[in-house]
Structure 1
C-alpha cells in the first residue's frame, strides 16, 4: 500500500463520513507553507460544538468564551444597557423632588419667609435639575444601545468567521498529532463531546438572556451569613490555640531573627558611611564591573544627598536578613525538590499558596503568632520571597543533563562530589536567577512590612500615603527602586570579569 493511500485511509478514519472534503483540504494545506485560504462551513455554523466534536480543546475554550461574551453584549444591549439603571435613578430623583416640592409648599403655606421653606424650595429645585440630568443621561444611553448591539454582533460574526477560516488548519494539525499517537479511539467526530458542548451552551446562553431580561433574578448570590461568622470564629479559636502552643518557639525564633537583624543593622548604620560606601563600591566593581560600579555610585549619591542613607541601610539590613534566611532555606529545599519528584509534588502547592495569597492576608496570622515589629516583617518577607529560589533551584537541578552525571559517576564520583562539583555548578545560572528574584521579591515587601513595625524606606512611603505627600512618596519610592536595581545588577553580575 502506497503512502498516499495509507494517508487517505487514515484521514477517512479520523474525520469519518466527510473524508473526501478533508482529504482535499489537508492536501492543499500540506502542500503549501503558511496560511492557506480554507473555510469550513460546519465549523462556522456549529462554532464551539464542532471544535468539541473534533476534540480541538486548545481552540474550543477561547472560541466558547468569545461566543458567550458576544451573547452577553447583545443581551445587555437589547435589555437597555445602562439606560435601565439610569432611568431607575431618574425615577427615584423625580419622586424625591416631588415629595420635596410638596414639603416646600406646606412650609411656605405656614411661613413663606422662613428658612425652612427656602431651604426645602432650593432642595426641590436641585433635585428636579438632578432628575432632569439623569433622565437625559438615560435617554442618551438608550440611544447608544445600538453601538453595543453592533459590537456584540460583530464579535460573534468575527468569532465564527475565524472558526470557519482556521478550523481546517486546526483539524489538519490535530490529524498529524493523532497519527503520531496511533490511538484509533480518538478519531472520528465525537458525538458525546459535541453533545456536552451543546448542553453547556444550552444552559449558559438562556441563563445570560434571563439574567438581563430580569436583572434581579441573579442579583444576589444565595448564602447564609451565619456560615461566615461561624467559620471566622472557628479560625479565631484555631489561631489563638496555635499561637499559645508555639509561643515558646515563636519567642526563640523572633529572638534569633532580632539578633541577626541587629548585627547587620549595627554593622551598616554604626560603621562610618565612607567605609560602608567604599565597601559597596568595591563589591560592585569586583562582581559586576565598571558600569555597575558607576551605577552604584550614582545610586548611593542619591541616597546620601536626599537624606535616605540611614533608612536605606536599615532597609538593606532588613532585606539582607530576610534574603539570607530565604536563600539558606530555599537552595537546599530546591535541591531536594530537584532530586525527589515526590517532595517536589508536595512542596509545589505550598509555593503556589505562598505566592498567590495576598501579603495583607498572611500578615494577620504572622502578627498573631509573632507580634508586631521587625521580626514579624522579616517572617512575612521570607514567606513572600522564598518561592522563587526554591522553584529555580529545583528547575536547575532537574535540568542537569543525565550524560554529565553519568560521566562523573563513571569516573567514580561520590554523591557529595556529584552535588558540589557537577549539579550545583551546572545549575548555577538558574540558582543565581532564583537568588536575584528572591532579593527583589523581598525588597518589594518593604512597604508592606512597614505596616507591622518594620522601619526603613517603607516607613517613608507609608507616611506619604497617609498624608497624601506625593513628592515625598515618589522620592522614597525612587530610593527603594535604586536599591533594587543595584542589588539586582550586583547579583546578576556575579562571575563576569571585572574591567
Structure 2
C-alpha cells in the first residue's frame, strides 16, 4: 500500500477518529510505518518526554506496566541515592561499639591501676571493640560512597526507558490502530478518565516508593497494611461456632456418609488387600494385557515386582483401594455433573466458581473442615481426595459434551432420536476421548493426595513418605515415593488403554 493511498481523506479521517489529537501527524507516521518492512522506528517526542504516562494515555497497557515498574525502580534508586540514609545502621552500630569500647577501656585502666590481673584482658577486649567500631565506620563510609552510583544508575535507566518509549511508541500505537480498524470497541482516543489514571498512578506511587525505601524509619502504615486483627478474630470465632453447630446438627448425615464410604472401601480392600497376592497380581497383569497391550503388561509386571520385593505390596494395595474408592466416587458424581454442565451453559456458569475454588484452594485447607465434620481416618482422607480430584473429570466431560458437533445432533434428532438416545448413543460416544482424559487426570490427582491424606490417618504409602519426612530418612522416602510412582504409571497406562496406531 502506497503512502498516497494511506494518506487519503478516508484514512486520515480514521486516524483522526482514533487519535483524537494530532491527527495529521499520526496519519503521516502510520503511513511511514506501513511502508517500512520490519521494525519501524519513528521517534515520538511526547512519548519520550512522558514515558509510561504517554503509554497509559494511549491504552497501551502492556507496555505501560513494564515501563511503569522499570521507572519506579529507577526513581527509587535516585531517591535512595539523594535522600536515603546510606550507612545509617552502620554508623549507629559504630557509635554503640565505640561507647562500649570507652566503657571497657575505663574499666580496664581502673583494673590496671588497682593491680588486677584481668586489666590486660579487659584492655585487649576494649581495643578489639574499638577496632570493630572503626570497621563499622569504614563500612558506613563505603555505603555512603555508593550514593552517586545509585543516582547515576537511576538517571541512566530513566533516560534509556524514555528513549525506548520515544523510539517504539508510534509503532505500538500503529499496531493498535490496525486492531482498532477491525474492532471499533477497542479503547482509543484520549478520554479524561484514562489520562487522569495514567497521570495519577506515577504521581502517587513514585513518591510513596521513595518515602518507603529512602526513609530510615518509614511509618508503620506504609510498611504494613493496617489490618483489623480484632475483626479477624471475631470472624474466626464465629466460623468455629458455626462449624461446631453444623457438625452437631448434621452428625447423623455425616455418620451415614462415613458408613457408605467405609462400605465401598472395605469392598475394595477385600479385593486388593485381603485376597491372596498371586490372584491380585495375575488379575492386574491380565487386565493390563487385555486393555493396554503386551508392553504395558510387561511394565506392570516389573512395577508389581518392585512393590512386592521391597515389601510395599500390602500398603500399595491399600493405597490403590483408597485411590479406587475416591476415583470411583469422583467418576460417579463428576460425569453426570459434567454432562449437565455440557448441556446447560447456565449450569456450568454456576458450577465453574465452585470448581475453581476446589482446584485453587490449597489441599491442606480441605483437611480442616473435613476433620471437623468427619474426624480422622480413611473416610475423611477419601472425602478430601474427592474434593481435590473431582474438578478435572467435570471440566473435561463438560468440554467433551459441549464440543459434540451440532449438525450431528440435529441429524440424529431428524431421524427420530430421543433425548436418551442422543445422550448415550451420540453425545457420550463422541465425547468419550475427553471424558477418559478427565478420568485419567482425576486418577492421578487422587493419587497425588496420598501423602496429604496420610496426615489424617489415611495410611498406605503416604504414611511411609510422611514418616521419612519426619525423621529425615532419605532412603525410605525415595523408595516409598518410587512405589507411589509405580502405582501411578501402571494405573495411567491401563486407563489410557491401547494407543491407536
Q: What corresponds to 2:476 in structure 1?
A: 472
Q: What corresponds to 1:494 in structure 2?
A: 497
Say whether residues 1:264 and 2:268 are aligned partners. yes
Query: How do residues 325-336 of structure 1 correspond to structure 2 at under 5 angstroms?
Result: 325-336=329-340
Say whether residues 1:206 and 2:210 are aligned partners. no
Distance 1:16 1:437, change over 3 A: same
Q: What corresponds to 2:177 in structure 1?
A: 175
Deviation at 1:63, TM superposition (A): 3.3
Distance 1:403 1:28, change over 3 A: farther
Deviation at 1:376, TM superposition (A): 0.7
Distance 1:104 1:397, change over 3 A: farther
Deviation at 1:33, TM superposition (A): 5.3
Deviation at 1:174, TM superposition (A): 1.9
Q: Please tell me whether the aligned partners of residues 53 and 191 of structure 1 are also in contact (alpha carbons under 8 angstroms).
A: no
Query: How do residues 225-236 of structure 1 correspond to structure 2 at under 5 angstroms?
Result: 225-236=229-240
Deviation at 1:159, TM superposition (A): 4.3
Aligned partners of 1:104 and 1:447: how far apart in 2?
62
Greater alpha carbon shift after TM alignment, 277-286 vs 256-265 = 277-286
Greater alpha carbon shift after TM alignment, 10-19 vs 129-138 = 129-138
Q: What TM-score comes out, normalization by structure 2 length? A: 0.85
Q: What corresponds to 2:168 in structure 1?
A: 166
Residue of 321, 341, 346 corresponding to 1:342? 346
Deviation at 1:370, TM superposition (A): 0.3
Deviation at 1:172, TM superposition (A): 2.0
Aligned partners of 1:220 and 1:110: how far apart in 2?
54
Say whether residues 1:253 and 2:254 are aligned partners. no
Q: What corresponds to 1:239 in structure 2?
A: 243
Query: What count of residue pairs does the alignment treat as equivalent?
Result: 494
Q: What corresponds to 2:314 in structure 1?
A: 310
Distance 1:263 1:61, change over 3 A: same
Greater alpha carbon shift after TM alignment, 289-298 vs 313-322 = 289-298
Greater alpha carbon shift after TM alignment, 3-12 vs 205-214 = 3-12
Deviation at 1:50, TM superposition (A): 1.7
Greater alpha carbon shift after TM alignment, 74-83 vs 118-127 = 118-127
Q: Please tell me whether the aligned partners of residues 461 and 480 of structure 2 are also in contact (alpha carbons under 8 angstroms).
A: yes
Q: Please tell me whether the aligned partners of residues 211 and 218 of structure 2 are also in contact (alpha carbons under 8 angstroms).
A: no
Greater alpha carbon shift after TM alignment, 298-307 vs 86-95 = 86-95
- Cα deviation 1:288-327 (Å, max 9, x = unaligned): 3344334333322322222222111111111111111112
Q: What corresponds to 2:190 in structure 1?
A: 189
Q: What corresponds to 1:47 in structure 2?
A: 51
Distance 1:423 1:137, change over 3 A: farther
Greater alpha carbon shift after TM alignment, 82-91 vs 405-414 = 82-91
Query: How do residues 147-162 of structure 1 correspond to structure 2 at under 5 angstroms?
Result: 156-157=158-159, 159-162=161-164
Deviation at 1:241, TM superposition (A): 0.8
Q: What corresponds to 1:364 in structure 2?
A: 368
- Cα deviation 1:205-224 (Å, max 9, x = unaligned): 11111112334312343234
Q: Please tell me whether the aligned partners of residues 289 and 496 of structure 1 are also in contact (alpha carbons under 8 angstroms).
A: no
Deviation at 1:61, TM superposition (A): 3.2
Q: Please tell me whether the aligned partners of residues 43 and 51 of structure 1 are also in contact (alpha carbons under 8 angstroms).
A: yes
Deviation at 1:162, TM superposition (A): 4.2
Greater alpha carbon shift after TM alignment, 294-303 vs 79-88 = 79-88
Q: Computing the radius of gyration over CA atoms, which structure comes out larger, 1 or 2?
A: 2
Deviation at 1:43, TM superposition (A): 2.4
Q: Secondary structure at the match of 2:10?
A: helix
Q: Structure 1 unaligned runs (5+)?
A: none
Q: Please tell me whether the aligned partners of residues 79 and 212 of structure 1 are also in contact (alpha carbons under 8 angstroms).
A: no
- Cα deviation 1:227-281 (Å, max 9, x = unaligned): 2221221111011011112110100101111111121122111222233223223
Residue of 449, 453, 461 corresponding to 1:449? 453
Q: What corresponds to 2:24 in structure 1?
A: 20
Q: Please tell me whether the aligned partners of residues 59 and 188 of structure 2 are also in contact (alpha carbons under 8 angstroms).
A: no
Aligned partners of 1:129 and 1:385: how far apart in 2?
63
Distance 1:227 1:11, change over 3 A: same
Q: Secondary structure at the match of 2:22?
A: helix
Q: Please tell me whether the aligned partners of residues 54 and 190 of structure 1 are also in contact (alpha carbons under 8 angstroms).
A: no
Q: Please tell me whether the aligned partners of residues 43 and 50 of structure 1 are also in contact (alpha carbons under 8 angstroms).
A: yes
Deviation at 1:187, TM superposition (A): 4.1
Q: Please tell me whether the aligned partners of residues 401 and 431 of structure 2 are also in contact (alpha carbons under 8 angstroms).
A: yes
Q: Secondary structure at the match of 1:17?
A: coil
- Cα deviation 1:151-209 (Å, max 9, x = unaligned): 655654554444334322322232122222345x9543334311211012111111111
Greater alpha carbon shift after TM alignment, 125-134 vs 252-261 = 125-134
Distance 1:411 1:276, change over 3 A: same
Query: How do residues 67-466 of structure 1 correspond to structure 2 at under 5 angstroms?
Result: 67-75=71-79, 84=88, 156-157=158-159, 159-182=161-184, 186-214=187-215, 215-217=217-219, 218-466=222-470
